[in-house]
Amino acid sequence: MDLKEMEARLQKVEDELAIDRLQKIFGYYLDNRMLKEAWELFSKNAESIEIADRGVFKGYEGAGKFFLEYLGKENAIARLGLFAFHMQHQGVVTVDPDGRTAKGRWYLIMIQARPYPPGGPIRSVLGHGVYENEFVKEDGVWKFQKVFMSLHFRSPIEGGWAETPMIGQGRASQSDAPPTNYHPYPNIKPLPVHWKHPVTGK
């Protein structure tokens, strides 16, 4: 292996680590309701963000609507006892050969306290889903190009997902299009992985 090959391999590793860090910072911003900071992680040429059944928000401006208008409204009405923690793990990052674009997948576990039924008492809630995201490197900085999260369940801990698979908001009025791939438990449809098989290459 010559110096040029070593530099290319090192750059690939650094890119993978930077993307994984970006994803995790995104989760911390959501949890701490730092919505403007979360929006600023997106490319100005972003394609979309789609979270669960809330619909598709298109482009950078659409992402701004998602964070500042939709989630911002939740901020305004948040009451004592309402919170959410998003834990992202088992990440797989694949940087494309051009070194400018990439894809990443993470499992998501959510621990929340939210009203259920809507307008009712605060309940302990457990959720699970998977992210399949796309990234772009601009001026040496990795940013979100597309965010997609498939939600498997969001259920009161009391009773669990077998009894109450989903409590949630439904499509947001600010969204640009309906959900494209929403199949919660018990009708989960596995989200295709973005990578090739590491042994067979298929």
Query: What is the pLDDT at residue 5?
Result: 86
Q: In what order do the strands lie in the sheet with 141-156?
A: 56-58, 48-51, 141-156, 122-138, 101-115, 83-95
How many other β-carbons are positioned within 10 Å of the β-carbon of residue 22? Answer: 18
Residue 58 forms beta bridges with which residues? 48
Mean pLDDT lowest among 8-17, 38-47, 158-167: 158-167
Closest to 107 measured CA to CA, from 126, 122, 87: 87
pLDDT for 118 beyond 80: no
Q: Which domains are seen in the chain, by residue range?
A: 3-156 (3.10.450.50)
46-66: pLDDT as tens digits: 999 999 999 999 999 999 999
Closest to 78 measured CA to CA, from 31, 43, 13: 31
Percentage of the residues of the chain whose pLDDT score is greater than 90: 77
Mean of the per-residue pLDDT values of the chain? 92
**CA-based torsion, 32, 90, 108, 175: positive or negative:** positive
22-42: pLDDT as tens digits: 999 999 999 998 999 999 999
73-102: pLDDT as tens digits: 765 555 666 788 999 999 999 999 999 999
**CA-based torsion, 76, 80, 84, 85: positive or negative:** positive
